[in-house]
């Protein structure tokens, strides 16, 4: 008795959903459910499920600051001070990184660092620490190279004044 009411309701639901959208055509980048005779040749009927189209909102146009001359640079005492400060900071970071490299290489000992307490019984721990030291040295060398590149950029911009 209770199924007698449920089955017709489900059938009505599926029939209503099946005809809700009708035929969908794709005409280039446009989707429509009605086409004219002239559009039939360039529109395709889409088979399958429903189509949902989200309209794209156009972003605001990018504003590009233009200089009076190509490649010109504003040369003010404030800018020179900033460049000088940046150079001092980079030089300080370079010194720290070079000191860190010396410490790491001393600890690495050409790939044979001294074994620590638990590493005497567990050789894998020792191998893991050696690999980590090597990775730290490589990372530190990469940092030093990056700082030197940045110093070169700051140096060329201050030298071109």
pLDDT at 109: 92
pLDDT at 103: 95
Q: What's the distance, CA 144 to chain centroid? A: 24
pLDDT at 73: 61
Cβ atoms 87, 158 nearer than 8 A: yes
Number of other CB atoms surrounding residue 107 within 10 Å: 13
The model's pLDDT over 32-81, given as tens digits with 9 standing for 90+, comes to 878 888 877 888 887 766 666 666 666 666 666 555 554 556 678 888 88
Domain spans in the chain, listed from the N-terminal domain onward: 2-46, 77-159
Q: Over 80: is that where the pLDDT of 149 sits?
A: yes
Cβ atoms 144, 97 nearer than 8 A: yes
Phi and psi, residue 47, nearest 5°: -100, 155
Half-sphere exposure of 123 (CA within 13 A, CB side): 1
Average pLDDT over residues 147-158: 81
How are strands ordered across the β-sheet holding 30-32?
A: 30-32, 24-27, 44-46
pLDDT at 137: 96
Is the backbone of residue 111 left (phi > 0), alpha (psi -120 to 50) or beta?
left
Greater confidence, 161 or 136? Answer: 136
Mean pLDDT of the chain: 79
pTM score above 0.95: no
Instruction: Give the single-character DSSP code of 78.
Output: H
pLDDT at 7: 64
């Amino acid at each position: 008795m209770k199924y007698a009411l449920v089955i017709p309701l489900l059938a009505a639901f599926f029939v209503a959903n099946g005809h809700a959208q009708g035929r969908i055509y794709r005409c280039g980048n446009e989707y429509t459910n009605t086409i004219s005779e002239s559009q039939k040749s360039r529109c395709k009927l889409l088979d399958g499920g429903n189509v949902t189209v989200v309209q794209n909102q156009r972003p605001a146009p990018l504003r590009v600051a233009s200089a009076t001359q190509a490649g010109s640079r504003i040369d003010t005492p404030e800018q020179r001070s900033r460049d000088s400060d940046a150079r001092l900071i980079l030089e300080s970071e370079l010194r720290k990184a070079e000191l860190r490299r010396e410490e790491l290489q001393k600890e690495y000992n050409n790939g044979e660092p001294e074994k620590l307490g638990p590493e005497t019984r567990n050789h894998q721990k020792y191998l893991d620490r050696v690999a980590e030291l090597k990775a730290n040295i490589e990372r530190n060398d990469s940092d030093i190279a990056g700082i030197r590149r940045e110093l070169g950029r700051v140096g060329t911009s201050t030298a071109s004044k």
